[in-house]
Amino acid sequence: MNESTPQHDYRGLFRLDGRTALVIGAGSGIGRESALALAAHGAEVICADRDRGAAERTAQLGDGLTARELDVLDQTAVRQAATELPVDVLVFTAATNVRKRLLDYSSEEFERVVALNLRSAFELIRAFGPGMAERGRGSMIGFTSIRAISVEPGQGVYAATKAGLLQLMRTAAAELGPQGVRCNVIAPGVVETPLTTQIRNVPDWYDAYAAKSALGRWAKPEELAGAVVYLASDASSFVTGSQLLVDGGWTAIDGRYTPPA
């Protein structure tokens, strides 16, 4: 590099000052830690959750946080939120799982998992994408899972929705990229959240999952927050259509396990 060439100032690479973020599922777990981390880096964060009380409790944990009740299964409410909130960063973490083998699944259970894990993401992209495209900037961040890559018995429908979300966001990245909108997903491994309470309460299951990652343990929700800040910030300005694995090396060593499902 020529000595006369100005050097880039990297000190503010992860700062989010002047940006507004909407975190859906901010009432607990990964969503809550994501909201806190974004606010800590300067963003004004709207903590959204279908449980308004949970959203308010998160908003009380720091500066720059406000609460909003929002059910992502309510298409009208989602569109209204998109109209009222010109956000720069959209993070959505809401998900559910019914741990059953495929032959034991009911149609109602299938529809319930698909509705929250995949259809709601489709509606969020449709609702918030136009505003971001019009403003010429924006970062959408969804959450897939190691199950978008590797499957175990009892995880088929959940895995299908997470693989579908990955492809949905890749397509959004391709379609919205020319307007300056980036779309990425984060794929956690096993994380100690309310969603995993059922299996964490079974010692053999908990220990088996811990042993399947390279780090030999489960993740804490706050260990996903750094990936969210990265994808929200200018540190990832040329990253779109990607799936960022935050799995403790689970997929690197092919951590398979057949649970007692």
The residue extents of the domains of the chain are 20-246
- What pLDDT does residue 29 have? 95
Q: Quote the percentage of the chain above a pLDDT of 70.
A: 95
Q: Does the pLDDT value for residue 45 go beyond 60? A: yes
Q: Two tokens at 102?
A: 């495929």
Q: Does the pLDDT value for residue 197 go beyond 90? A: no
CA distances from 132 to 26, 38, 138, 140, 187 (A): 21, 18, 5, 9, 24
Could you give the CA distance from residue 227 to residue 44 in angstroms, rounded to a whole number?
A: 18
- What pLDDT does residue 212 have? 87
- What pLDDT does residue 2 have? 54
- What pLDDT does residue 194 have? 82
Please state the pTM of the whole predicted model: 0.93
Q: What's the average model confidence in pLDDT over 204-224?
A: 92
Torsion from C-alpha of 162, 22, 63, 234, nearest 10 degrees = 80
Q: What's the average model confidence in pLDDT over 218-240?
A: 97
Active site residues: 158
Neighbours of 181 (CB within 10 A): 26
89: left (phi over 0), alpha (psi -120 to 50) or beta: beta
Lowest-confidence segment of 31-45, 122-136, 183-197 by average pLDDT? 183-197
Q: Which runs of consecutive H residues, i.e. helices, occur in the chain?
A: 29-40, 52-59, 75-84, 107-114, 120-135, 156-176, 197-200, 203-211, 225-232
Confidence of residue 67 (pLDDT cuts 50, 70, 90): very high
- What pLDDT does residue 7 have? 83
- Is residue 75 within 8 A of residue 97, CB to CB? The reply is no
- What pLDDT does residue 257 have? 62
Q: What's the average model confidence in pLDDT over 211-217?
A: 91
Could you give the CA distance from residue 12 to residue 144 in angstroms, rounded to a whole number?
A: 28
Q: Does the pLDDT value for residue 218 go beyond 60? A: yes
Per-residue pLDDT reduced to its tens digit, 134-182: 999 999 999 999 999 999 899 999 999 999 999 999 999 999 999 999 9
> To which CATH superfamily is domain 20-246 assigned?
NAD(P)-binding Rossmann-like Domain (3.40.50.720)
- What pLDDT does residue 201 have? 87
Q: What's the average model confidence in pLDDT over 57-66?
A: 97
Q: What's the average model confidence in pLDDT over 181-205?
A: 90
- What pLDDT does residue 1 have? 46
CA distances from 239 to 144, 174, 225, 230, 236 (A): 17, 12, 17, 10, 5
Give φ, ψ of 245 to 5 degrees. -80, 125
258: left (phi over 0), alpha (psi -120 to 50) or beta: beta
* 215 HSE (CA, 13 A, CB side): 13
The residues, any chain, with a CB within 8 Å of residue 177's CB and separated by 6 or more, are 240, 241
Confidence of residue 3 (pLDDT cuts 50, 70, 90): low
